[in-house]
Each structure stands twice: as C-alpha cells, then as structure tokens.
C-alpha cells in the first residue's frame, strides 16, 4: 500500500472551510472538525492518525462485500480505460449496463424484468414516482397521483424522496411536496399501542390503510411505498404478515406497491431481494442502490414489472419519447462495479453467510439487554439496532440532551468499533462478511461501551 500522505491539519481546515457535510450538526462540527477516513480493508477502516476500526455500519449500509476489493477496482479501471462514459439515451447502450440489467432481472422476483438506472437511492425513488405518474397518465387515470408512505420512513433526500420520507426532523425547515404524499403510521412492533397483540396491531395498521383509501379515494392514489424493514427511521419491525396484507389491500384498489430495498436488498437480510423471499410480497416495483455496487460507485436501479413495462415501454403518441433519465443512467463504470460485486457475492456465497451469521449476531446483541438503557434490540440478520430508553417498562425516552446514542458510539469508537448513532439508537449494519469471531468481539466492545456510558 502507498504510504499515507495526508496533512491532517491542512485537510481539516479545507474541509471545515469548504465542504458542506450532509446530515451534520454544525455546532458539533465547527467545534470538533471531522474524522478523516483514509484507508479501508475487509471489515476495517482506518483514520488519518492510523487508528483502525471495525466497520459496524458498512460505510452507510452499503459496503456489503467489504472494503478494499481490488477486483472491483480493477473492473472499474478496465471499463474506464476502455470506455468511461457515453450516453444511454435513445438507442445507445453499453455492455455493462446491458449485462447488469439482465443479471438483475435474473436475480429479482420472476415478474420484475425491466431496469431503469439512476445514481443512488433517492434518485431511484424520485424517478419511480415520475414513472408511476406517467404510467397512470398513459392509462387514462390522471387523478391517480397521491403516494402513500409512512411516518419514520426514509426514502432519500431529493425533493420528492424527502417528501416521501417520514422522519420529521429530516425535513425541519425544509419544504415538502405535501400535495403528493400522505403518511400512514409507521409499523413498529416495539412501540405499538399498549395492550395490543402483534396480530391486533397488524389489523390496526391494515385498517388504517383501508380507511385512508376510503377517505382519499383509490382513484386518487397511485402507489404505496415501503421499506421491508424501516432502516434510518430506527430499524423498525412490522408485525408478522403486515407487508403481505398491505399489498393485498393495495392490489384490490389498483394501487401499486413499491418496495424500497435500498438497504434490505443485496444480501443484508440474506437474499438479493428480501420482498418475496422474506415477506412473501410481489411488489410492482423494487428499488435498489447501496449494496448493488457495495458502495464502490454510485448506482441505483428501479426494477419494474412486466405489466408496468407494457405501458411504459410502448411508443408514445405523436412520436414523443419517455422523457426521463439521467446523464449517468447506466453509467458503464458503475455498472461494471455492480457486476463484479454480484459475481463476488455469488462466488463467496455471501447471502449464505448472512443467513448463517445474522441470527447469531442478533442473538448475541440481545445479550446486551441487561444494560440499564437498552430497551430493545431488534432487526434481522445484518440490519440491527439497539434502542436506548430511560425506563424499560414505560419505554420513556432519555432527554435529547443526554445524546445517549452519540455517547455509546463514542465509547465504541474509542475501543475500535464504529456503530451509527441515530438519536437514542445505535445501528449495527456491518459488511456482510463478518464471521462469528468478529461478532463476539463486537458484542464484547458494545458491552464495555454501554457499561462506560450508563
């Protein structure tokens, strides 16, 4: 490896003066500056001081095959050297984009055979809603515009994706496109109304959907969008059977079902696509990003059913075209990265590893429940979270100023582990190559970190 050549002080200053960081608390940032991540290998990342950490968040739910895969870098370099970029508009294409679309159709549920490329998850969701509106317009149902989303959902940060997002604090002081989106309740078993069984809770949520459709009118609703497990909103687990029942109601009312698998896809739950394999649903559209290229290059993909494609893919009247797409739709270098990423996942049976080690990770994390603040440990496979509370019985939260998630994450980082604080939560969403030995080390570190915090 090349020797480190970073002048940390100078870089910090440049960063502080010029880089507007996303999702950043500026009061903390201006005081503390930033941590420079300068290297990565396997399950580890390294900072500019040479400290090494176990990556407990796969970068940001995305480095699924782990860091430092030179095979992916090589595939990208070869493609960039041969043909780094050319348009895919009109009749133009490139080999990696075509290969990848066919590969995705092969891996996805049987009816999803058509791929629209974008540059990430937000853009995939945004493009999806445009395509859904276009679809209903072409069917002569122009009033079907409203999208049902859920409180605490995270669907991204373009204007439309941020409007679909239901995490209130994400949109503080921002505007949202409220005329297009209605938010239903989150599906959160841990905080379901007191005294309700899981199945009663499921009935309650399904009824809310039915009531909402009745109130707004199915003729005005285009689609329902949902993450199979809500991620950034706090790894929220829906009651058993929820997605299947929600889909059945949508189908009965000609409302499309969009699964946002930006996090749950590409192995995090042990399958390339979780919707059908784990939740017994057949979405009309599935969106993926992140793990699709394991974060080695920006890429998002919208997988569209044969039925929708029949309408989207037919010629427009008066010689018009499907006028949507990005300069970088089907970017050859990103698609080459994704193809190699998928090849690695299949060759190394990474989904099998998640199905084998994931339940062990969950079981071991649950042993942390003895700590005073740990109210809930939940999630599935490599998508897990610890919820910290002030009182385990009432589930009352600690005051925001306690910054409990931040403090636990800080203690963990001091001990060589990065986990993600989100308010009072700590999220664990590692590269999918952790083995049982790593899980033991991580749980030990979290055990010490919680003890040091509480």
Contact positions toward ligand PLP, by CB under 6 A?
120-122, 125, 154-156, 227, 231-232, 260, 262-263, 289
Residue 114 gets which letter from DSSP? E
Closest CB 361 distance from ligand PLP, rounded Å: 19
Q: Which is nearer to ligand PLP, 263 or 354 (CB)?
A: 263
Torsion angle of the four alpha carbons 279, 281, 285, 286, in this order, in degrees rounded to the nearest 10:
20
Q: Name the DSSP letter for residue 398.
A: P
The CB-of-110 to ligand PLP minimum distance in angstroms stands at: 23
**Closest approach of Cβ 239 to ligand PLP, in Å?**
20
C-alpha–C-alpha distance, residues 306 and 111, integer Å: 6
Residue nearest to ligand PLP (CB): 121
Q: How far is the CB of 191 from ligand PLP (least distance, A)?
A: 20
3-state secondary structure 125-151: HHHHHHHHHHHHHHCCCCCCCEEEEEC
Instruction: For ligand PLP, give the closer residue by CB, 234 or 239.
Output: 234
Closer residue to ligand PLP, CB minimum distance, 227 or 376? 227
Please report how close the Cβ of residue 454 comes to ligand PLP at its closest, in angstroms. Answer: 28
Q: Which residues contact 105 (CB under 8 A, 6 or more apart)?
A: 112, 113, 114, 115, 303
Say how far residue 242 (Cα) sits from the centre of its chain: 19
- CB of 297 or CB of 439, closer to ligand PLP: 297
Instruction: Please state, in angstroms and rounded to a whole number, the distance separating the CA atoms of residues 434 and 418.
Output: 14
Nearer to ligand PLP, 231 or 430 (CB): 231
Q: Strand pairing of 285-288 and 300-305?
A: antiparallel
Closest distance between ligand PLP and the C-beta of residue 182, in Å? 18
The residue with tokens 């055990």 is 447
Question: Which C-beta is closer to ligand PLP: that of 154 or that of 434?
Answer: 154
Strands (E), 33-77: 37-41, 44-47, 52-55
Tokens describing residue 260: 């946002």
Nearer to ligand PLP among residue 121 and residue 283 (C-beta): 121
Q: 313: which 2 tokens?
A: 């893919």
CB of 410 to ligand PLP, least distance (A): 22
Task: Please state the closest distance from residue 155 (CB atom) to ligand PLP, in A.
Answer: 5
The DSSP code for 402 is G
Output the smallest distance, CB 100 to ligand PLP, in A. 17
| Angstrom distance (rounded) from CA 222 to CA 229 | 22
* Rounded Cα distance, 379 and 304, in Å: 27
374 neighbors 395 (Cβ within 8 angstroms): no
Decide the pairing of beta strands 425-428 and 420-422: antiparallel
**Closer CB to ligand PLP, residue 23 or residue 31?**
23
Nearer to ligand PLP, 260 or 411 (CB): 260
Q: Closest Cα to residue 124, out of 302, 309, 274?
A: 302
Query: Residue 160 CB, nearest distance to ligand PLP (Å)?
Result: 12
Q: Residue 289 or 374: which CB sits closer to ligand PLP?
A: 289
Which CB sits closer to ligand PLP, 156 or 234? 156
CB of 58 to ligand PLP, least distance (A): 11
DSSP 264-313: TTTTTTSSS-HHHHHH----SEEEE-GGGTTTSS--EEEEEEHHHHHHHT
Sign of CA dihedral 94, 95, 99, 102: positive
């Amino acid at each position: 490896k090349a020797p480190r050549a970073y002048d940390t002080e100078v870089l910090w200053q440049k960063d502080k003066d010029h880089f507007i960081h996303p999702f950043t608390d500026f009061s903390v940032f201006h005081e503390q500056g930033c941590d420079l991540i300068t290297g990565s290998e396997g399950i580890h990342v390294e900072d500019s001081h040479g400290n090494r950490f176990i990556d407990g968040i796969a970068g940001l739910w995305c480095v699924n095959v782990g860091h430092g895969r030179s095979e992916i870098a090589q595939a990208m370099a070869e493609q960039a050297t041969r043909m780094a970029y050319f348009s895919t508009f009109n009749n133009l294409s490139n080999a990696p984009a075509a290969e990848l679309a066919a590969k995705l159709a092969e891996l996805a549920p049987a009816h999803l055979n058509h791929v629209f490329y974008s540059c990430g998850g937000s853009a995939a969701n945004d493009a999806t809603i445009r395509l859904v509106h276009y679809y209903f317009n072409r069917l002569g149902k122009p009033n079907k515009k409203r999208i049902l989303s859920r409180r605490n959902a995270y669907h991204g940060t373009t204007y439309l994706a941020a409007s679909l997002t239901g995490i209130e604090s994400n949109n503080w002081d921002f505007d949202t496109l409220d005329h297009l989106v209605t938010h239903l309740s989150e599906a959160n078993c841990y905080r379901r109304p007191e005294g309700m069984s899981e199945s009663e809770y499921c009935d309650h949520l399904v009824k809310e959907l039915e009531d909402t459709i009745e109130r707004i009118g199915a003729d005005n609703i285009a689609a329902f969008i949902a993450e199979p497990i809500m991620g950034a909103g706090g790894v929220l687990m829906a009651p058993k059977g929820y997605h299947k029942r929600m889909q059945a109601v949508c189908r009965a009312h000609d409302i499309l079902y969009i699964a946002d698998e930006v996090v749950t896809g590409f192995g995090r739950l042990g399958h390339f696509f979780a919707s059908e394999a784990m939740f017994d649903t057949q979405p009309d559209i599935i969106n993926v990003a992140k793990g699709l290229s394991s974060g080695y290059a920006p890429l998002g993909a919208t997988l569209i059913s044969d039925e929708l494609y029949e309408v989207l893919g037919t010629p427009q009247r008066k010689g018009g075209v499907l006028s949507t797409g990005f300069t970088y739709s089907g970017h050859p270098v990103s698609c080459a990265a994704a193809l190699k990423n998928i090849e690695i996942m299949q060759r190394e049976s990474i989904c099998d590893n998640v199905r084998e080690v994931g339940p062990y990770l969950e079981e071991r994390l649950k042993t942390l429940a003895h700590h005073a603040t740990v109210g809930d440990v939940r999630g599935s496979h490599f998508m897990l979270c610890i919820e910290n509370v002030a009182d385990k019985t009432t589930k009352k939260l600690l005051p925001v100023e306690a910054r409990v998630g931040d403090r636990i994450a800080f203690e963990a980082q001091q001990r060589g582990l990065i986990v993600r604080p989100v308010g009072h939560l700590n999220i664990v969403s590692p590269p999918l190559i952790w083995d049982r030995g790593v899980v033991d080390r991580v749980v030990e570190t979290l055990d010490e970190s919680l003890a040091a915090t509480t």
